[in-house]
Amino acid sequence: MMKKAMLSIALTGALIISIGHAGSCYAADRQNVNLAISGANNPTKGPSESDASEYSSHFWKGNYIYFGQGQLWSLLDNDEESLLILADVLKEDGEALYQTFDSSTNVWTDSSLKQYLNGSSYLANTNQFTSLEKSLITKEVTIPTMAQLVNRAYGFSEEYAPDGTRTASAPYWVQDQHSTDGYAIFVCQFGSVFTGGTSIADPTVGVRPMVTLDTSKVLYSVAGQYAKSTFGTVASNLVVYNTWKLTLKDGNRDFKAQTTSSSVVAGNQISVKVTNLGSVTSYNHISAMLFDKDKDLVAYGFAGKSTAAKGTYTFTIPSNTEVGTYTLCVFAESAKQTSASVVTSDTASNTCDFKIQVTPAKAVIKSYKAKKKKVKLTLKKIAGVSGYQIRYSYKKNMKKSKTVTTSKVTKTIKNLKSNKTVYIKVRAYKKDALGNRVYGAWSKKIKVKVK
């Protein structure tokens, strides 16, 4: 169900404090849980040259993603193939990541800074990324270019002048080579791209690394500090800030589960039996996601247990779920309930996917009355259904049966044979989004002697 995508990320190594959130709310049709990172939108476009007066007061407005050990990243570009983001906070062992550009050259490709970022001090440092997070990084670590820092589509202004979108708590290096040996271009604390440069040994200039991630390994994302909870409807507009926490696929393909039923009434439970967890021991939840026919996420959550083990788990299908065909994806996950200052990625196994039918409730015949060549039925009303199908036959096994439909809870079956026994049962139906009838379970069969 997942498309392979790439995630490019830029991090502010020079920062101890947050650059600052714009505080924008997301639209009401967005959800607090989304497949992969589909809920994260591109930033508001930055001002053009003609809007220069807005530069100093313009602040970046967009989405943020947690990746790494408690690191927050600003999303610059999200499309089907890539996600470019710039981190809000980057720390190294509790200190800001300050690193001189180089002691001998201002060429990025040959710089000690490039070696530093791609070596054991940063990329391979488990205090920065877990081994699973590191496996998502597919290209070398770099730093921003001048072209990226003046890209309006990324939320920046298109000039090098002071701009609130580029400000940070300290200056940071730019990748482009300075024309003078021993100097490097940087962004100053006021947000302007300072092409005049400074010494490559300047210890006050920090680092904003950039990386590219393979997001095909992201199973889903949750909004901000949204606490993962028991299975239920995916809500909208729950958080103020557009921040997203990732759940990564851990590569465990040995998780196995099965269902005992392929249909369920909205509001009722469906049981899932977990038969194998694989070799991973850190799981603390058996969870599920429910997708409709358009692969839109309808519900998410874990079964009502705080441990993950072999056994039977139940998921209650939300009562407001429309009838139709759905996919229930069940998996094991390690869901960490962390504080706002240390938000780390969660992990999950492969999913076991089951096609299920959400149907109307089982019909009930409340009463019946035999008359001359006819039988009057009174049915129990089922809210929200389109109608009822009535099946009747003179044979107990219902062979050679006939059917009639009604939209009301009373119906008289006419033209029956006198002095014959007729067998009758009923089921409710509701039309799905395509206009097809989705039927519920048959009622208990009744036996009536026709007058």
Calpha distance 318→266 (Å, rounded): 6
Give, in degrees to the nearest 5, the angle at Cα 308 between 305 and 313.
Answer: 55
Q: Is 108 helix (H, G, I), strand (E, B) or coil?
A: helix
Q: Are 1 and 211 in contact, with CB atoms under 8 Å apart?
A: no
**DSSP assignment of 184-211, as one string?**
EEEE-TTS-EEEEEEETT-TT-B---EE
Q: Quick one: tokens of 117? A: 């970022």
Strand pairing category for 193-199 and 6-10: unpaired
pLDDT tens-digit profile of 350-383?
Answer: 999 999 999 999 999 999 999 999 999 999 999 9
Spell out the domain ranges in the chain. Answer: 35-41+60-213, 229-239+249-359, 364-450
Q: Which residue is it, tokens 């056994």?
A: 311
Interstrand relation of 421-431 and 437-439 (parallel, antiparallel or unpaired): antiparallel
Q: What is the pLDDT along the chain (451 residues), one digit of tens a residue?
A: 333 333 444 433 222 222 222 222 233 346 788 888 888 888 888 888 777 666 666 677 888 888 887 788 888 888 766 667 776 654 443 344 556 666 667 888 888 888 888 999 889 998 888 999 999 888 888 889 999 999 999 888 888 877 677 776 678 889 999 999 889 999 888 888 999 999 888 888 888 888 888 888 999 988 876 567 778 777 655 544 588 889 999 988 899 999 988 999 999 999 999 999 988 888 999 999 999 988 888 999 888 776 788 999 999 999 989 999 999 999 999 987 655 567 788 999 999 999 999 999 999 999 999 999 999 999 999 999 999 999 999 999 999 999 999 999 999 999 999 999 999 999 999 998 888 999 999 999 999 999 9
Assessment of whether the complete model's pTM goes beyond 0.85: no
Instruction: For the beta carbon of residue 70, count every other beta carbon within 10 angstroms.
Output: 18
Q: Average per-residue pLDDT in the chain?
A: 82
d(CA 198, CA 207): 14
Those residues with Cβ within 8 angstroms of residue 120's Cβ, 6 or more apart along the chain or in another chain: none
Equal fold, 229-239+249-359 vs 364-450: yes
Length of the chain: 451
What is the three-class DSSP state of 149?
A: helix
For the structural domain made of 364-450, what CATH number should be given? 2.60.40.10
Phi/psi at 385 (5° precision): -80, 160
Q: Which fold has domain 229-239+249-359?
A: Immunoglobulin-like (2.60.40)
- Per-residue DSSP letter, 137: B
| CA angle in degrees (0–180, nearest 5) for 260-264-265 | 155
- Rounded Cα distance between 39 and 243, Å, is 10
Cα–Cα separations (whole angstroms), residue 8 to 41, 196, 231, 318, 389:
15, 28, 32, 36, 55
Distance CA 24, CA 44 (A): 10
pLDDT tens readout for residues 248-268: 999 888 999 999 889 999 999
